[in-house]
Amino acid sequence: MTERVVLAYSGGLDTSVAIGWIAEETGAEVVAVAIDCGQGGEDLDTVRQRALECGAAEAVVADAKEEFASEYCIPAIQANALYMDRYPLVSALSRPLIVKHLADAARYHNATMVAHGCTGKGNDQVRFEAGLAALHPELKVVAPVRDSGLTRDKAIAFAEEKGLPIDVSKKSPYSIDQNLFGRAVETGFLEDIWNAPVEDVYAYSADPSEPRQPDELVVTFTAGVPTAIDGRELSPLQVIDEMNRRAGAQGVGRIDMVEDRLVGIKSREVYEAPGAMALIAAHQELENVTVERDLARFKRGVDQRWGELVYDGLWFSPLKSALDGFVTDANRHVTGDIRVVLHGGRAVVTGRRSEASLYDYELATYDTGDTYDQTMARGFIDVWSMPAKIASLRDQKQA
Amino acid sequence: MTERVVLAYSGGLDTSVAIGWIAEETGAEVVAVAIDCGQGGEDLDTVRQRALECGAAEAVVADAKEEFASEYCIPAIQANALYMDRYPLVSALSRPLIVKHLADAARYHNATMVAHGCTGKGNDQVRFEAGLAALHPELKVVAPVRDSGLTRDKAIAFAEEKGLPIDVSKKSPYSIDQNLFGRAVETGFLEDIWNAPVEDVYAYSADPSEPRQPDELVVTFTAGVPTAIDGRELSPLQVIDEMNRRAGAQGVGRIDMVEDRLVGIKSREVYEAPGAMALIAAHQELENVTVERDLARFKRGVDQRWGELVYDGLWFSPLKSALDGFVTDANRHVTGDIRVVLHGGRAVVTGRRSEASLYDYELATYDTGDTYDQTMARGFIDVWSMPAKIASLRDQKQA
Amino acid sequence: MTERVVLAYSGGLDTSVAIGWIAEETGAEVVAVAIDCGQGGEDLDTVRQRALECGAAEAVVADAKEEFASEYCIPAIQANALYMDRYPLVSALSRPLIVKHLADAARYHNATMVAHGCTGKGNDQVRFEAGLAALHPELKVVAPVRDSGLTRDKAIAFAEEKGLPIDVSKKSPYSIDQNLFGRAVETGFLEDIWNAPVEDVYAYSADPSEPRQPDELVVTFTAGVPTAIDGRELSPLQVIDEMNRRAGAQGVGRIDMVEDRLVGIKSREVYEAPGAMALIAAHQELENVTVERDLARFKRGVDQRWGELVYDGLWFSPLKSALDGFVTDANRHVTGDIRVVLHGGRAVVTGRRSEASLYDYELATYDTGDTYDQTMARGFIDVWSMPAKIASLRDQKQA
Amino acid sequence: MTERVVLAYSGGLDTSVAIGWIAEETGAEVVAVAIDCGQGGEDLDTVRQRALECGAAEAVVADAKEEFASEYCIPAIQANALYMDRYPLVSALSRPLIVKHLADAARYHNATMVAHGCTGKGNDQVRFEAGLAALHPELKVVAPVRDSGLTRDKAIAFAEEKGLPIDVSKKSPYSIDQNLFGRAVETGFLEDIWNAPVEDVYAYSADPSEPRQPDELVVTFTAGVPTAIDGRELSPLQVIDEMNRRAGAQGVGRIDMVEDRLVGIKSREVYEAPGAMALIAAHQELENVTVERDLARFKRGVDQRWGELVYDGLWFSPLKSALDGFVTDANRHVTGDIRVVLHGGRAVVTGRRSEASLYDYELATYDTGDTYDQTMARGFIDVWSMPAKIASLRDQKQA
């Protein structure tokens, strides 16, 4: 029986050409797998048809938007996941989802190989291959762009030679990866890190500096999961979609940064993630209200490590799994409403209310009704400052 | 000889009354010490005169703005110090400075006691007393507001009875603490955490939603210290002042949060810190460009702990000192220019350039000229993913 | 109805006297609660009888050894809990157990107060009161030794005056706290930290320097829980008992250290914990075999924090609960056998075997049969060392 | 001019053969560099002579024992560096030292390449190449054992064919790496992790189970550096040598563990490090006496990361440098005497004294003379337990 290779298929030039290229290179039949994570563009049937026309033995398409929202984006919100305190892991979150579908398809179609179109200097190759090593370690990886010279020029030549149904003439100056949690843009002039992005770079967000009316809404969270907007119960996918739309319309969620890639270099990245940034801001403030101090302090370190692991392609790893347990437990009481004003590129929390609140008006107020026993403070301070005080006395004696 | 008590004097009602109150309570002479950390308001001579008129045996005033900027605010910028990822430690930074002046004054004036006007449920009492325990542990603490019933009503009665030169009629609805690094506001209606702040609360920043022209500037850092704006060399105090003015004019730096106090309760706080927030944003991005990845990842944990220690009143502590060494070392190469656009409440970095940059165009570019050896990636990924892969094989075998 | 106070009762002089002392001080009826955590000594009926004879309205005794072993000691083993890398938290583990029984008894007997015999400079007062604050925050705390002058001399005088059935003549030079997980000793001459402990101090362990035959055994763990010794299935209590006996007979588990107390001072402590130390050593090595590297590295930080929280009296806290989830998840595969040789004060692991092992002979061996692909190493090293290399090139350029 | 390659030369079969092998493979002249880190064996002149007889164009030998002790072992003691809480980094510490000498020799001899005899599955290849990438990134690496098939059989055949002056007949069953800080042994039968080591494996330590008299000594530390034994001032090298001899004679410092290699696999390792383990135990206890609690708690995490970085080959990295600053600062007051009893495989601290001690008898004692103010405890506990208490009340309300 002919060997089979499962290809992560996007519908674009590179992976369309890869179908024939891999078939020639390996002698195997290609099963093209296209996953809709909310990247928009063509409908899945068109994509499927093109794969077949380009020579795929099978073409599998899947609408994974709900799965992506629920199983990947929501945990990121619960972990306030911001790589380097800024980037909400947009692409990094979608890779393990795609990997899972590739591994499933490989099992279903008895494939022995898996192929992707990543280059050799990005993070995504690691995320694909590390994920596959965990989920289906027997698969051999084929990476024609990185390992067998499938450059853009060769892809165009190949497409023309074989008469593939792809328009090779249109050339965007931008390299884009997008899904329902956000959008990443790279392009030549931004590789000079002194250059500012231009408005043309953005697609998910309006210009924040344009005057417009603010938009105010109330997000409801249940155990750290956003479950309603303005009282309307919504699925995770619906919440993210609506927040993208409304926060994007106010210019929220643009990020421009120099980033530490897993492969050892720094790169310039421009992102848009209106919904993600607004939801994380709301979630963080609800944590401030409902999570106890020591837990909150420790969780910052857990959140950071969670984000690094996902960025570093280790979604399917024992540490990620153990951190998930921590994050879920810490979100147990993160239930309540957060009022957010979206305006001028900012998502500003202006109110919070929660049955699980640890904010206690009677303890906090300076008005009458105060129940805090202030006489306790002296003793606290005395003991609290003792270790530093003893050390200070020692230092003075030594000096 | 009569005992002496050094009083942290603000010039306001509470501490003006405290002069006589403490004298009566302790039988000691009061030395009033007023420190200008950039809080504005009356000039120091007026404050000094009032202290004497209220009965102080001595009144010491000091302009500590340069010292505060250089020795307290700059280290906070180098540590990207944001308590709970938000609050740039405005009041927490000024307390150790004041403590240092109190301890010095106590030594100079042979005082055996020190007094402050803090209540028993805030952080500042801890910062004062823990700092004094470290710098001058022999001093006995007198805290009339917390420990001997000096309420506002009693203060007014006392002032009227003694004919003190204080206007007891003006009553702000706000409880405010401010200095050159920012401003904190508490007030009754904000104790309901569902209420949004009103414009009236703010003084350091214009309404960010008002349309206006953006302001663009270039901040130069040298080893993590901002040393110039738009090419003009400036002292730390001048940098912070100018950034406060320009970022404040664009509505930058407003913070509204529920916060974990050291004394065990959550409280609602509203802050303004235009310069601090803009400078930290610029500093973080220059770190992204000049600090190596592993160091940057570890530094996030150090920065968090640094901020917690300062918030928790442990400025003068052995751990703070050791973290300072780390932060200084990590800032060695944080030298270069950051272009910032201030507009609509946002301080957005749009460009960075540095002789010490670790961003390497030749390694990062996807254009011709790429020097990154992509053939190395396979080996990296193979070894990188091996531990999770072996664990995954074990899990599958066990399942 | 007369108020009731629940007293943590040990049967010794101080708490026996406390029954009458507290009754006089508060006018309340005393419910004495004695918990057997394996501290040995008198039987529970005798203890119960004495409480009644000393004036208790009720006396409750409970054999909590199984509960203590399963619910408190086992989690400590799973977290390799060693405060300051040395002390297996012997007393710190028993306090939350006692607190739980006190809170239950207070509810059952409608008590409004709770009493303990701790001094004001130790950790235990914090553990009692912080635990009670979490489990039964309405209870008022009565601490006669700390707060109302119940010194040892006064206790003897009180006992003699009231004719209490306690032998006040026997006076141990040692202050001892012990339970089934270990034993703590404090005494005057050890307060000089240059003095070495004498053999007389120890009771759970034989002199390790005496010549004797080694003892070898195999401990079986299931998900991090020791479940058998030499193939005999045992309850947690039985495992700890047997390990205490066998490791103690070989002089294992003596600890002599200067320790950071929660109340801000350093103290000299001598401990014996033969079973605890041997079981933790075995557990750690089984983790080395079965836990993936990144998880193992992160778990060290979690284990440290877990131990600090328990030491610091925060057993019943949100962070402890979230860390428990992490530790349990990390122990999922910690299943297998560890061979330990007990001899001369050492518990040495000499063999390990596990179905869940991540050690793979084929990957590790240098003999024929090696399946590790060594050609991957070059690429790994190239990428692994790149960030430090780029930083080094920058440093050289800058110098 | 002929190219030159600098070879890390040990004098053994593999690297002796490598001289000719590399010359043939690369056409370059070989400069053999042999560094004495205290590994014992032949004298440096003999090693040098053999390199020349095997065809080296130049042979450089250096006694680096003092340098190794002062610059590499001492920092490890200050960081209590124990990888996985056990292994004192013996080989990992010597590699950067050798790398430094190789890089220096390469510059002096105008070499363009550097060669080592490591395999492709160990840590040392990473340590060599990552170190060289930092110190001399222009050098090309040649690794004949890993990359061009120089197996042991081929090495023997090559040596016989070329008549090299090496005895190829003697074959140790053990693969050994040793230096003045310890010794590592790997061998076939230990690759079965259920097998116990046999006495024959060890060379630095006597059998701990043999009866003998204990040895007691006092180590003096100055700022974390051991500077004297029993009052005799010694250099770092002398201290380590004497401790190796005396602790080794008592069987101290044997380690048998399964270890996480950097290259992604677990391996079985047996180590001996008598001096290292005794000195670290003494240093840790002096830290317990002289380092303030918060600093000590944070330092555990720093120490762990320091050890991981060194194990992972990142000695010359920005994070290592910043951690060094922290560790040095934290050791500022680690000055004083520690009495250690060496016996039966154990190094037990029995006394400590220090001018910089933070242990305060007056605060710690339960005897008369106690200066601790116990009335402060109530207030401390009240505030300390408040966050968990409020959370507990919330949880009860929610349940």
DSSP string spanning D310-362? HHTT-SSSHHHHHHHHHHHHHTTT--EEEEEEEETTEEEEEEEE-TT----HH
How sure is the predictor about A373, in pLDDT bands with cuts at 50, 70 and 90? Answer: confident
Q: Which residues of C are annotated as a binding site for L-aspartate?
A: 119, 123-124
With an 8 Å Cβ cutoff, the interface of chain A facing chain C consists of 260, 263-265, 291-292, 294-295, 298-299, 301, 305, 309, 314, 317-319, 321-323, 325-326, 328-330, 383-387, 390
Is residue C360 classed as helix, strand or coil in its secondary structure?
coil
- Residue D313: inside a domain: no
**In chain A, % of residues over pLDDT 70:** 99
Compute φ and ψ for D151, nearest 5 degrees.
-80, 170
Residues B10 and B156 in one domain: yes
Half-sphere exposure of C10 (CA within 13 A, CB side): 19
State the pLDDT at residue B368.
66
Q: Which residue has the higher pLDDT, D315 or C171?
A: D315
- Residue A385: inside a domain: yes
The letter for the amino acid at D67 is E
Chains that touch D (3 or more CB pairs under 8 A): A, B, C
How sure is the predictor about B80, in pLDDT bands with cuts at 50, 70 and 90? Answer: very high
Confirm if D2 and D29 have CB atoms less than 8 A apart.
yes
Q: Which residues 6+ apart lie within 8 Å of A376 measured at CB?
A: B120, D378, D379, D382, D383
pTM of the model: 0.97
Q: List pLDDT tens digits, range A252-285.
A: 999 999 999 999 999 999 999 999 999 999 999 9
- Residue A86: inside a domain: yes
**In chain C, % of residues over pLDDT 70:** 99
For the segment B382-390, the average pLDDT, to the nearest whole number, is 92
How sure is the predictor about D368, in pLDDT bands with cuts at 50, 70 and 90? Answer: low
- Residue B311: inside a domain: no
- Residue C366: inside a domain: yes
Residue D140 has which token pair?
């090309």
User: Which of A311, A316, A329 has the most C C-beta neighbours within 10 Å, making it the best mutation to test the interface with C?
Assistant: A329
- Residue C85: inside a domain: yes
Residues D95 and D163 in one domain: yes
CA distances from B304 to B76, C34, D73 (A): 11, 44, 31
Range with the poorest average pLDDT among C30-44, D86-100, D169-183, D201-215: D169-183
Q: How many residues are listed for chain C in this entry?
A: 399
State the pLDDT at residue B373.
83
State the pLDDT at residue A98.
98
Residue in C93, C119, C103, C68 with CA at minimum distance from that of residue C309 = C93
Q: List pLDDT tens digits, range B210-237.
A: 999 999 999 999 999 999 999 999 999 9
Q: List pLDDT tens digits, range C48-83.
A: 999 999 999 999 999 999 999 999 999 999 999 999
What is the C-alpha separation between B259 and B178, in angstroms, rounded? 18
User: Which of C329, C382, C384 has the most A C-beta neighbours within 10 Å, making it the best mutation to test the interface with A?
Assistant: C329
What residues of B act catalytically?
14, 95, 124, 175
ipTM, two decimals: 0.96
User: Which of A376, A385, A392 has the most D C-beta neighbours within 10 Å, making it the best mutation to test the interface with D?
Assistant: A376
- C358 vs B360, B382, B390: nearest CB: B390
State the pLDDT at residue B361.
84
Tokens 């340069």 appear where? B66
Residues B15 and B133 in one domain: yes
Q: For residue A304, which residues of chain B lie inside 8 Å, CB to CB? A: 297, 300-301
Domain boundary among D120, D153, D171: D171
User: Which of B126, B376, B389, B396 has the most C C-beta neighbours within 10 Å, making it the best mutation to test the interface with C?
Assistant: B376
| pLDDT for residue A119 is more than 80 | yes
Residue of chain D nearest B302, judged by CA positions? D298
What is the C-alpha separation between C180 and C73, in angstroms, rounded? 9
Measured between alpha carbons, how far apart are the two ends of chain B, in Å?
Answer: 83
Residues D161 and D255 in one domain: no
Give how far D270 is from chain A: nearest CA, Å. 27
Eight-class DSSP state of A73: I
Residues C255 and C382 in one domain: no
Residues B274 and B215 in one domain: yes
Is residue A77 classed as helix, strand or coil in its secondary structure?
helix
The letter for the amino acid at B246 is R
Residues A152 and A14 in one domain: yes
Say yes or no for a CB contact (<8 Å) between B394 and C357. yes
Residues C167 and C242 in one domain: no
Residue in B216, B179, B202 with CA at minimum distance from that of residue B255 = B202
Q: List pLDDT tens digits, range A193-234.
A: 999 999 999 999 999 999 999 999 999 999 999 999 999 999
DSSP for A20-62, please give it: HHHHHHH-PEEEEEEEESS--SS-HHHHHHHHHHTT-SEEEEE
For the segment D69-88, the average pLDDT, to the nearest whole number, is 98
State the pLDDT at residue C368.
66
Q: For residue C360, which residues of chain D lie inside 8 Å, CB to CB? A: 265-266
Q: List pLDDT tens digits, range C258-299.
A: 999 999 999 999 999 999 999 999 999 999 999 999 999 999
CA distances from B3 to B23, B113, D155, D183, D198 (A): 10, 8, 87, 66, 75
Residues B264 and B347 in one domain: yes
Domain boundary among D171, D187, D203: D171
Across chain C, mean pLDDT equals 95
Nearest-Å Rg of the Cα atoms of chain D is 25
How sure is the predictor about C372, in pLDDT bands with cuts at 50, 70 and 90? Answer: confident
CA distances from C374 to C313, C377, D28, D118, D262 (A): 50, 6, 25, 11, 13
Range with the poorest average pLDDT among A365-369, B390-394, C171-175: A365-369
What is the C-alpha separation between B230 and A261, in angstroms, rounded? 31
Residue C52 has which token pair?
């009644």
Q: List pLDDT tens digits, range B159-213.
A: 999 999 998 877 778 889 999 999 999 888 999 999 999 999 999 999 999 999 9
Q: List pLDDT tens digits, range A129-182.
A: 999 999 999 999 999 999 999 998 999 999 999 999 998 877 778 889 999 999
Give how far C231 is from chain B: nearest CA, Å. 21
Q: Which residues of C are annotated as a binding site for ATP?
A: 8-16, 117
Helix (H) / strand (E) containing C244: helix C236-249
The letter for the amino acid at B199 is E
Domain boundary among B171, B189, B205: B171
Quote the number of domains for chain C.
3
Q: For residue A360, which residues of chain D lie inside 8 Å, CB to CB? A: 390
Residues B193 and B268 in one domain: yes
**In chain D, % of residues over pLDDT 90:** 89
> Which CATH number covers residue A373?
1.20.5.470
Boundaries of domain holding B125:
4-171
- Residue A311: inside a domain: no
Catalytic residue of the set A36, A124, A177, A337: A124
Q: For residue B308, which residues of chain A lie inside 8 Å, CB to CB? A: 297
> Which CATH number covers residue B60?
3.40.50.620
The letter for the amino acid at C40 is G
Residues B266 and B231 in one domain: yes
Q: Which residues of C are annotated as a binding site for L-citrulline?
A: 87, 123, 127, 175, 259, 271
| pLDDT for residue C111 is more than 70 | yes
Is residue B276 classed as helix, strand or coil in its secondary structure?
helix
Q: Which residues 6+ apart lie within 8 Å of B275 measured at CB?
A: B181, B182, B239, B240, B241, B242, B243, B244, B245, B247, B248, B253
β-pairing verdict for B254-260 and D140-142:
unpaired
> Which CATH number covers residue A221?
3.90.1260.10
Chains that touch C (3 or more CB pairs under 8 A): A, B, D
Q: Which residues of D are annotated as a binding site?
A: 8-16, 87, 117, 119, 123-124, 127, 175, 259, 271
Counting beta carbons within 10 angstroms of the beta carbon of residue D162, is it exposed (0 to 12), middle (13 to 18) or buried (19 or more)? Answer: middle
**In chain C, % of residues over pLDDT 90:** 89
With an 8 Å Cβ cutoff, the interface of chain B facing chain C consists of 292-294, 333, 355-358, 360, 363, 373, 375-380, 382-384, 387-388, 390-391, 394-395, 398
Is residue D33 classed as helix, strand or coil in its secondary structure?
strand
Residues B138 and B8 in one domain: yes
Residue A60 has which token pair?
């599998």
Q: Which residues pair with A29 in a beta bridge?
A: A4
Say yes or no for a CB contact (<8 Å) between D295 and B322. yes
- C126 vs D293, D381, D389: nearest CB: D381
DSSP for C1-60, please give it: ---EEEEE--SSHHHHHHHHHHHHHH-PEEEEEEEESS--SS-HHHHHHHHHHTT-SEEE
Say how many CB pairs under 8 Å bridge B and D. Answer: 79
- Residue A317: inside a domain: no
Q: List pLDDT tens digits, range B121-131.
A: 899 999 999 99
For the segment B89-113, the average pLDDT, to the nearest whole number, is 98
Across chain B, mean pLDDT equals 95
For the segment C216-230, the average pLDDT, to the nearest whole number, is 98
State the pLDDT at residue D370.
76
Q: For residue C84, which residues of chain A lie inside 8 Å, CB to CB? A: none
- C381 vs D126, D341, D363: nearest CB: D126
| pLDDT for residue D364 is more than 90 | no
